[in-house]
Structure 1
Amino acid sequence: MMVVRPIQAEDHAALRELARNTGTGFTSLQDNDEQVAAKLEAGLAAFDAATPLEEALYLFVMEDTDTGDVVGICGIESAVGLSDPWYNYRVGTLVHASRELSVYNQISTLTITNDHTGYSELCTLFLLPEARHSKHGSLLSKSRFMFMAEFPQRFSEHVIAEMRGYSKDSVSPFWEGLGRHFFSIDFAQADQLSSMDKIFIAELMPKNTIYTNLLPKEAQEAIGKTHENTTPARRLLENEGMRYTGYIDIFDGGPTLEARVNDIRAVQESQYVKVHIDSAEPEGELYLVSTTDFASFRCTMAPLTRVSNNLISVTPAVASALNVTEGTTVRIVPLSSGRRF
């Protein structure tokens, strides 16, 4: 059984191994010892703090309870851009027209912005290839919504998620058509640098509006386009209510999805119930089930049986994975939109 829980100090080796597998363009977890150590330190500090940190990184791992192996990771930044600038491009439209010449042209533009400063961010979602089955990806991603629903005071009213942009053979057409002209370095190097220090972005990026029709065709086509490995994650978030509103990553052109936290399906529809432990195996629809604890938060998925209005039945295996006992209060929501209790 898979369970999502807060990262712990002893997960360092597993986190380092996950970082070796993410690949070029996965900015928030790269094959870099320094970044991995900093990520772990930030994740531990978020859960150890006596009071909520203004900029906290809540980092979770997915553990296979049968083997003890860590097979995935996900995170939530409580707020972005408060101490380091948060940059992206806003895709806009300019009209160039002349009635006298019978000319009317709509031109797509890119303008660098800090519009999402202070928003919470879903980040660092990665699942090892061998674990990408049985809806594990849905559990890993949506467990964050259960945590946000349980602790809304720790997050902004709005949340964003930057999707990895399109690339082929580790080459980003958007970067080659735009960023390289101002940075004179490869995409992989710029992407790695941005994860550690964003100051150089402000120093080198053009401040003026960019007309996309001046970019190579391949770069234009990559705007708002998602990497093939990230497309399932994008669909999952869109099914929960997040939307692309015309903001893209300044490096690879990947789309930024956003929503009000309270408008997200898993947050909006989740409810409290108490646990009854029964060895009978329920059948049917899968539910997310999460605890109400903070530092020992846990989330798994399982079919449930409704015993009464506010009581659900779970197996001993589910109760063990969640570390709950008879009568414990938990939060539940259908794994996917559709039929409910």
Structure 2
Amino acid sequence: MTKPIPSVDLRMPTREGVMRAADKIAQILPQTPLLPLEMPNGATIWCKAESLQPVGAFKIRGAWHRLTDLDEAQRAKGVVAVSSGNHAQGVAWSARRLGIAATIVMPNDAPAVKLAATREFGAEVVLYDRPGGESRDAVAAELIARNGATLVHAFGDPWVIEGQGSTGIELAAQLQVLTGSAPSRIVTPCGGGGLASGLALACPEAEVIAIEPDGWDDVTRSLAAGQIVAVEPNPPTTACDALQTLATYPINFAVMTANGIKALSVSEEEVRAAQRLAFARLRLVVEPGGAAGLAAVLSGKAPTDGATVVILSGGNVDPEAFAAVISEA
């Protein structure tokens, strides 16, 4: 069962909050499918296709839960978010539907498809120089100080964590219908730990395994060390732009440690192989970061059984980049 969570500055997310978020999301979005996938070794896993959300990623869940809980005064001042693209689209989509002004701080090297989609949803985009080391948090703080907007953090926010956890409520109900059992294990891509934290709250009896790209394994190293550890200096280039988080936040670390979440990393080659498998077997376009969980299962790093669920967390990838990946031998 879920253990007590150590106290941190913000209110802590709860399973009750996850359930409330799931109810809110069920009123506006159809469930994404839970698809069986036979692996090359003959094992069957279940894939939660969050890449089919209206914004192409699970991030719409946390954004909707957060923005719908803002009071009228907060809504009038707008929101600010920081994202490489998927959270940006989730916030922009939710803000447009609710009539809230949204400003998104995005890296100037974000995939063009994510930048374009965020602007199409009506958000103002403010670029920062990620390769040059500019602080996105400092840019966001300046914007918030200027107009009093509410920060909608991509992972270190209790509402966002609860919203992402609604994924687990859905998949557990779907798996029960399809197999008569609850999920024994959930393998999920991990950036800052918002989705992993939410899944642990939603499915406390399941083993949750968080998957990061090699060299961006701050959560893996933090859980092993028993304290928050940032990525090493000069981390390697990765195609998993959605998972490039320098360090998790205390609120996420508290939830993950309290619930016994495990973590590991995968290589760029393993991620590309997972993208190809998802396209060939499921007919799904999955972005590199969104395929990290499948990469861990396909490579044999994460164990499986008949009740293992893998989260395909996003599908926002530049067409040229995706075409190059699936054309590899």
Specify the TM-score bucket, using the shorter chain as the normaliser: under 0.3
Query: Which one has a larger percent helix, Structure 1 or Structure 2?
Result: 2
Quick one: higher RCO (CA 8 Å, sep 6+), 1 or 2? 2
Query: Which one has a larger percent strand, Structure 1 or Structure 2?
Result: 1
TM-score, normalised to structure 1's length? 0.24
TM-score, normalised to structure 2's length? 0.24
> Larger radius of gyration, structure 1 or 2?
1
